[in-house]
């Protein structure tokens, strides 16, 4: 059997709320956010009838409560997909949604199904990262991993130790650029078109969640400089140069190229290749580097072929080290996160991978001369994931 081409037809997300009681999703279930995304994908693509969707795959880091019970299957039923639609859930921590997409794409590539929905969700207000986890005591007792591996902020401080040339001032400058780019993209209407509004109940009553809560467009270097360093005395990592704790969902509609042609659907991107790689858990932010080298090796492409790079900004230091490795212009390469990143928008763990794809899809639409783009991210406990996409919205293909 020959491998089939897999295309991304559409991607959409909810707004990203702040985790906790001040967030507008505090009284909203995670699975209802997923349902909103699924229904919007189908509404936006009427050629795809519900009965055509054969698989529904969702990533979530904490698979319990409103994110449990095989979310891929339960959300399919809740969204009104037919009983014939299968579904499952995956967990690769921050890359859960990315893994959901590559799992679904693999099914399509091998002919197991023709059309799938895949994405990620995280309600960090209901399910703080690792809150109910019970790590095997051997991890620490036998020193299989450093205790820092279980605290993401400490892993970022470790990166500063490894790369002392990446200073706190550089991290703060990168964070400021992320906020400014996001603010500009909002002003120009680029971000709003990616968000499906959702009416939610809050302590102020019913409101429409249609704009991310995390961005701080009024951020200044002076304000960033004065923030405390909670993970180390006189450290480098602050709330300002890190991603936030957030709630949100993002999903993609995938299908085979043949099915897209049959339905008369115009696909936006083609999946060229993907790879995952492991690193030491206590320096998990290095993950995108080996994963990206690996996908370049497997596809024969290079960083010079990438017109856009959507890198999840878990921490500024991690993004800067990636830029250093691939010789990108620091701190503001025009190819990297041109509309801002997770430091501005937030990082609801498993939903962030599909958000990168959603951004890339829209960047491709505005740049029909662009051919290739990379979506890449680090993963808790020491992994990285990278996917290369080809722009199908080009003038001269």
| pLDDT band for position 397 (cuts 50, 70, 90) | low
Residue 162 CA neighbour count, 13 Å, CB half: 17
**Contact call for residues 249 and 29 (beta carbons, < 8 A):** no
Q: pLDDT tens across 2-21, in order?
A: 899 999 999 999 999 999 99
Q: What's the mean per-residue pLDDT of the chain?
A: 97
User: Catalytic: which of 94, 113, 250, 252?
Assistant: 94
> Which residue out of 250, 252, 358, 378 is catalytically annotated?
378
pLDDT band at 140 (very low <50, low <70, confident <90, very high): confident
pLDDT, tens only, 230-249? 999 999 999 999 999 999 99
* Inter-residue contact 316 to 241 (CB < 8 Å): yes
347 is catalytic: yes
Give the pLDDT score at 324: 98
- Whether the per-residue pLDDT at 211 is higher than 60: the answer is yes
| Active-site annotation holder among 347, 358, 359, 362 | 347
Domains of the chain: 6-124+245-388 (3.40.47.10)
- pLDDT class for 396, splitting at 50, 70, 90? low
**Averaged pLDDT for residues 366-387:** 98
Share of the chain above pLDDT 70, in %: 99
378 is catalytic: yes
Residue 170: per-residue pLDDT: 98
DSSP string, 218-256: T--HHHHHTS--TTSTT-S--STTB---EEEEEEEEEEE
Task: Answer for the pair 122, 252: CB distance below 8 angstroms, yes or no.
Answer: no
What values do phi and psi take at 168, rounded to 5?
-60, -40
**pTM score:** 0.97
Residues above pLDDT 90, as percent of the chain: 95
Distance CA(72)–CA(18), nearest Å, equals 24
């Amino acid at each position: 059997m020959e491998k089939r081409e897999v295309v991304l037809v559409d991607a959409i997300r909810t707004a990203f709320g702040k985790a906790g009681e001040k967030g507008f999703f505090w009284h909203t279930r995670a699975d209802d956010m997923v349902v909103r995304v699924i229904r919007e994908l189908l509404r936006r693509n009427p050629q795809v009838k519900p009965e055509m969707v054969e698989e529904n795959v969702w990533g979530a880091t904490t698979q319990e409560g409103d994110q449990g019970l095989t979310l891929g299957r339960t959300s399919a039923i809740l969204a009104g997909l037919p009983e014939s639609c299968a579904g499952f859930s995956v967990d690769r921590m921050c890359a859960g949604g990315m893994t959901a997409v590559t799992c679904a794409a693999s099914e399509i590539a091998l002919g197991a199904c023709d059309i799938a929905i895949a994405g990620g969700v995280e309600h960090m207000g209901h399910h703080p990262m690792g809150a109910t986890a019970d790590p095997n005591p051997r991890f620490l007792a036998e020193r299989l991993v450093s205790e820092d591996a279980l605290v993401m902020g400490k892993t970022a401080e470790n990166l500063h130790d490894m790369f002392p040339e990446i200073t706190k001032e550089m991290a703060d400058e990168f964070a400021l650029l992320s906020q400014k780019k996001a603010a500009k993209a909002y002003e120009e209407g680029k971000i709003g078109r990616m968000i499906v509004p959702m009416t939610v109940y809050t302590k102020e009553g019913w409101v429409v969640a249609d704009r991310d809560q995390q961005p701080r467009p009024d951020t200044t270097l002076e304000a960033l400089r004065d923030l405390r360093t909670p993970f180390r005395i006189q450290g480098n990592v602050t709330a300002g140069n890190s991603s936030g704790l957030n709630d949100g969902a993002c999903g993609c509609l995938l299908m085979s190229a043949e099915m897209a042609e049959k339905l008369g659907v115009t696909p936006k991107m083609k999946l060229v290749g993907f790879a995952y790689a492991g690193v030491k858990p206590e320096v998990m932010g290095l993950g995108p580097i080996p994963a990206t080298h690996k996908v370049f090796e497997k596809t024969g492409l290079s960083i010079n072929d990438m017109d856009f790079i959507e890198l999840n900004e878990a921490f500024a230091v991690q993004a800067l080290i990636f830029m250093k490795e691939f010789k990108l212009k620091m701190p503001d390469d025009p190819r990297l996160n041109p509309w801002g990143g997770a430091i501005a928008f937030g990082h609801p763990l498993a939903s962030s991978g599909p958000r990168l794809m959603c951004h890339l899809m829209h960047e491709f639409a505005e740049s029909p001369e662009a051919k290739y783009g990379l979506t890449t991210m680090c993963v808790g406990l020491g992994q990285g994931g990278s996917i290369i996409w080809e722009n199908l919205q080009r003038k001269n293909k």
